[in-house]
């Protein structure tokens, strides 16, 4: 019989940030974020949003800082939509 591992509350935060580019944004507009340590993954997407970013962060204040300084600081970003998550285990 399998034994379920004990699951510990981590309290760790993460976020998905969806990005809409401004008209005429170059294909490499997301390249500015390669050196932002909190952005762990960047995905090109279809539909209403053009890009999704995964942030691995310690707290909600850091999420806000990265979204407003790093992501929204990119001159090609028209708008963003952020979904925060706090990891249970």
Fold category of 14-86 in CATH: Alpha-Beta Plaits (3.30.70)
Contacts by 47-50 with C-beta closer than 8 Å and gap 24+? Answer: 48/20, 49/18, 49/19, 49/20, 49/81, 50/19, 50/20, 50/21, 50/25
Q: Taking 80 as the threshold, does the pLDDT of residue 11 lie above it?
A: no
The average confidence (pLDDT) of the chain is 90
57 close to 13: Cβ distance less than 8 angstroms: yes
Give the lowest-confidence range in 3-17, 18-32, 45-59: 3-17
Report the predicted TM-score, pTM, of the whole model to 2 decimal places.
0.83
The Cα–Cα gap between 13 and 58 comes to 5
73 close to 29: Cβ distance less than 8 angstroms: no
């Amino acid at each position: 019989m399998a034994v379920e591992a004990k699951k510990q509350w981590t309290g760790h935060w993460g976020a998905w940030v969806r990005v809409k580019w401004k008209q005429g944004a170059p294909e490499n507009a997301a390249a500015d974020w390669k050196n932002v340590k909190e952005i762990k993954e960047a995905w090109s997407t279809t539909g209403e949003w053009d890009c999704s970013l995964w942030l691995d962060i310690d707290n909600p204040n850091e999420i806000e800082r990265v979204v407003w300084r790093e992501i929204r600081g990119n001159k090609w970003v028209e708008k963003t939509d952020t979904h925060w998550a706090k990891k249970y285990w």
